[in-house]
Amino acid sequence: MDNKMLSEALISMLGAGNVRTGELMKTHTTFRIGGAADYYVTPQAEKQIADVIAFLKKSDIKYIVIGNGSNILVSDEGFRGVVVELGDGFSDYEFLQDSQDNSDEVLVKASAGMKLTRLGNQLAANGIAGFEFATGIPGCIGGAVRMNAGAYGGEMKDVLKEVTVLTPEGGVLTLQADELHMGYRTSVIKEAGYIVLEAVISLEKGDQEEIRSRMQELAGMRTSKQPLSYPSAGSTFKRPEGYFAGKLIMDSGLRGYQVGGAQVSEKHCGFVINTGNATAKDVTTLMSDVQRIVLEKFGVKLEPEVKFLGEF
- List, by residue number, the catalytic residues: 185, 235, 305
Helices and strands counted in the chain (H then E): 8, 18
For residues 93 and 84, is the Cβ–Cβ distance under 8 A? Answer: no
Strand partners, 199: 110, 163
- What single DSSP character describes residue 212? H
Which residues make beta-bridge pairs with 65? Answer: 84
Longest dimension (CA), the chain: 58
Taking phi first (over 0 means left), then psi (-120 to 50 degrees means alpha), and beta for anything else, what does residue 13 get?
alpha
Helices (H), 34-167: 46-58, 116-125, 141-147
Residue in 71, 67, 10 with CA at minimum distance from that of residue 197: 67
| Cα dist from 245 to 35, 99, 205, whole Å | 29, 40, 36
Judged by phi (left if over 0) then psi (alpha if -120 to 50, else beta), residue 242 lies in left
**Three-class SS of residue 304?**
strand
- Give the helix/strand (H/E) hosting 11: helix 3-14
